Amino acid sequence: MSYELWISFRYLISRRKEKFISIISFISIMGVALGVTALIVVLAVMSGFDNDLREKIVGTNSHIIIE
């Protein structure tokens, strides 16, 4: 087992007398996961709106205007 995995397992899996640290770790990991999920959803929605707006603008005007 690598050193990094050993440290992470030791920190996340607490003993009976240190159960509070495990609860705090779980809450913080869930908070980070929720934040990352929200960021991904917002970026996907904004990308969709950007593509939709470009299609509407290009749909009303032609790509080249000859005078």
Please write the tens of the pLDDT for every residue from 22-49. 788 889 989 999 999 999 999 999 988 8
Is residue 43 domain-resident?
yes
Q: How many residues does the chain have?
A: 67
The domain tally of the chain equals 1
> pTM score, two decimals?
0.59
Question: Mean pLDDT highest for which of 1-5, 9-13, 19-23, 54-58?
Answer: 1-5
Helix (H, G, I), strand (E, B) or coil at 2: coil
Residue 30 lies in a domain: yes
DSSP secondary structure letters along 17-64: GGHHHHHHHHHHHHHHHHHHHHHHHHHHHHHHHHHHHHHHHHHHS-S-
Banded model confidence at residue 54, pLDDT cuts 50, 70, 90: confident
Q: Tell me what pLDDT residue 52 has.
A: 82
Mean pLDDT confidence for 37-66:
84
> Are 18 and 10 within 8 A, CB to CB?
no
Domain that holds residue 54: 3-60
In this structure, what token pair is assigned to residue 60? 């009303």
Q: Does any domain span residue 65?
A: no
